[in-house]
Amino acid sequence: METSREEYIDPAKHRYQQKRIANWDRVSYEQENKKRVGAFYQKLLQHYYKFLIPPGLRILELGCGHGDLLASLKPSLGVGVDFSGEMIKHASVKHPRLTFLQGDAHEIAFNEKFDVIILSDLVNDLWDVQYVFEKLRAIAHPGTRLVLNFYNNLWRIPLSVVKRLGLGFSVLEQNWFTPHDIFNLLELSGFEVIKYNPCILFPLRVPLLSSLANRYLVNFLPFSWFALANFVIARPVPAREQAESREPPSVSVIVAARNEAGNIENILKRVPDLGSDTELIFVEGHSSDDTYETIEQMIERFPDRKCRLFRQSGKGKGDAVRLGFEKAEGDILMILDADMTVPPEDLTRFVEALVSGKGEFINGVRLIYPMEEEAMRFFNMVGNKFFSLAFSWLLGQPIKDTLCGTKVLWKRDYESLARNREYFGNFDPFGDVDLLFGAAKLNLKIAELPIRYRFRTYGDTNINRWRHGWILLKMVLFAARRIKFI
């Protein structure tokens, strides 16, 4: 009788796994009885994971060890899996409010899906990394984030020396991956990389030196080449049939209008029907012309358009956008600048990019196509180029244009962003940067959509290139402390 493929047990794999189970059982004893072994490195890992993952999510950790990392994240549901029975025994005692299961990452099977799946220092020890990644697709929903860290190849010899000196855990022969290797395995398994970040340059506790190396130097070349840990965040690649089967969403278009009376009629005429239902939300802000009255008149002239009008009590476009988003009822929230330098007809492309899953935050880009004459002044162009480089470095995703007014995201994601806004505070008078920072902090996939930028046909710009440029620079420095130098 032939043995089926499912019944076959690879003896090499079996020996590999059994040897590692015995090793990690011994490590569990060492970790419990020699509490300083690797303690500082583990604390650093917890610090980075707490920055990347907000509390209150449904989290699965594979290779959970004693469960300290999982517990530090304060999940609403926390499940830890490890094939070492000793690890699971200690984890269950230390963290009784979490669920711990003994099992092999290659054989996981759950009837539920998780918001976050963690593999911390696990891929270096797996028999078949691609197979494990493929198994994870079954327990991931479209918004799931896979977060993993793995050792830098350049640390192979230093870690071997540490092991020989008895200063670290007894680690068996490891898999050694470059970041490209992991990116490729994720792609083969149906995941898309959102962020990659090297961390932990100096994994020992030495006053001043540890902070200097791990908070600052590791973020700059050439020091980042020598970081011990590579962090990667990925999401499941959206399936086309998923997007096609989804019910058409409703859309709210927020128009912040200050001294834009001459553009209101064209906005109502030209904004296309989007999704299953389109509402236009005008937020007027302290105009010196008759913008508010004009909006009222135009809403009466176009009774077939679903419109609402609000007058902001605060100041700045950012305050107006936040008010509009708060009042919006659509599934999708999008911003249209009232100066119509981004043609309203282009909004259809933004909705399609979001609904198809190409991104979870769609950011308009004005700096690719040639602009109409006088659409953007020279120093504004130079400033935008500089800030695109600065924000790409800060956020870990390519950001070519920070201040294009057209930005689109799901309302549910905005609500999560708003709940976590206190991390950065209410510091952004523009609204654009607040949304970009929030989207990056939530690990949303930012997709950029090129548009042709037009010159305004009515009124004057509300942007002061020097004053607002200085504000943006201060925001970059502030964000560096909150995002990079953590």
- For residue 71, tell me if it sits in a domain: yes
Whether residue 314 sits in one domain with residue 426: yes
Whether residue 150 sits in one domain with residue 272: no
Whether residue 293 sits in one domain with residue 441: yes
pLDDT per residue as tens, the chain (486 positions): 343 445 667 888 888 888 888 888 888 877 665 555 578 999 999 999 999 999 999 999 999 999 999 999 999 999 999 999 999 999 999 999 999 999 999 998 899 999 999 999 999 999 999 999 999 999 999 999 999 999 998 988 877 776 666 555 566 777 889 999 999 999 999 999 999 999 999 998 999 999 999 999 999 999 999 999 999 999 999 876 555 557 899 999 999 999 999 999 999 999 999 999 999 999 998 899 999 999 999 999 999 999 999 999 988 888 999 999 999 999 999 999 998 888 999 999 999 999 999 999 999 988 777 765 555 556 566 666 787 888 888 888 888 888 788 999 999 999 999 988 877 766 666 777 889 989 999 999 999 999 888 775 655 655 555 666 777 787 788 878 888 898
Residue type, 72: S
Last residue of a domain, one of 237, 255, 286: 237
User: Element (H or E) spanning 146, and its range?
Assistant: strand 140-151
- SS3 for 330? coil
CATH of the domain at 412: 3.90.550.10
Whether residue 189 sits in one domain with residue 336: no
Whether residue 45 sits in one domain with residue 69: yes
**What was the pLDDT predicted at 468?**
62
- Are the C-beta atoms of residues 259 and 339 closer than 8 Å to each other? no
- For residue 172, tell me if it sits in a domain: yes
- In terms of residue numbers, what domain contains 331? 242-484
**What was the pLDDT predicted at 166?**
59
pTM of the shown model: 0.88
Token pair recorded at residue 113: 């899906």
**What was the pLDDT predicted at 400?**
84
Q: Report how far residue 195's alpha carbon sits from residue 62's, in angstroms, rounded to the nearest whole number.
A: 20
Q: At a CB cut-off of 8 Å and minimum separation 6, what does 266 contact?
A: 340
In eight-state DSSP terms, residue 189 is T
Whether residue 232 sits in one domain with residue 330: no
The alpha carbon dihedral of 320, 323, 325, 329 has a sign of negative
**What was the pLDDT predicted at 373?**
57
Number of domains in the chain: 2
- For residue 279, tell me if it sits in a domain: yes
Last residue of a domain, one of 188, 218, 237: 237
**What was the pLDDT predicted at 2?**
44
The CA–CA distances, whole Å, from 102 to 58, 81, 146, 204 equal 19, 6, 21, 31
Last residue of a domain, one of 237, 261, 295: 237
Whether residue 293 sits in one domain with residue 202: no
**What was the pLDDT predicted at 244?**
57
Residue whose structure tokens are 């654009």: 432
Over residues 7-40, the pLDDT tens digits come to 667 888 888 888 888 888 888 877 665 555 578 9
Whether residue 131 sits in one domain with residue 265: no
- For residue 127, tell me if it sits in a domain: yes
Nearest CA among 195, 184, 61 for reference residue 120: 61
- For residue 4, tell me if it sits in a domain: no
Nearest-10 crossing angle of helices 179-188, 129-136: 50
**What was the pLDDT predicted at 3?**
38
Whether residue 154 sits in one domain with residue 22: yes
Whether residue 272 sits in one domain with residue 361: yes
Nearest CA among 363, 477, 359, 365 for reference residue 424: 477
Neighbours of 221 (CB within 10 A): 6
Pairing of strands 332-335, 306-311: unpaired
- For residue 6, tell me if it sits in a domain: no
- For residue 1, tell me if it sits in a domain: no
CATH of the domain at 207: 3.40.50.150
Whether residue 281 sits in one domain with residue 393: yes
Over residues 282-333, the pLDDT tens digits come to 999 889 999 999 999 999 999 999 999 999 998 888 899 999 999 999 999 9
- Are the C-beta atoms of residues 443 and 192 closer than 8 Å to each other? no
The CA–CA distances, whole Å, from 425 to 324, 394, 433 equal 19, 17, 12
Whether residue 362 sits in one domain with residue 349: yes
**What was the pLDDT predicted at 454?**
76
- For residue 196, tell me if it sits in a domain: yes
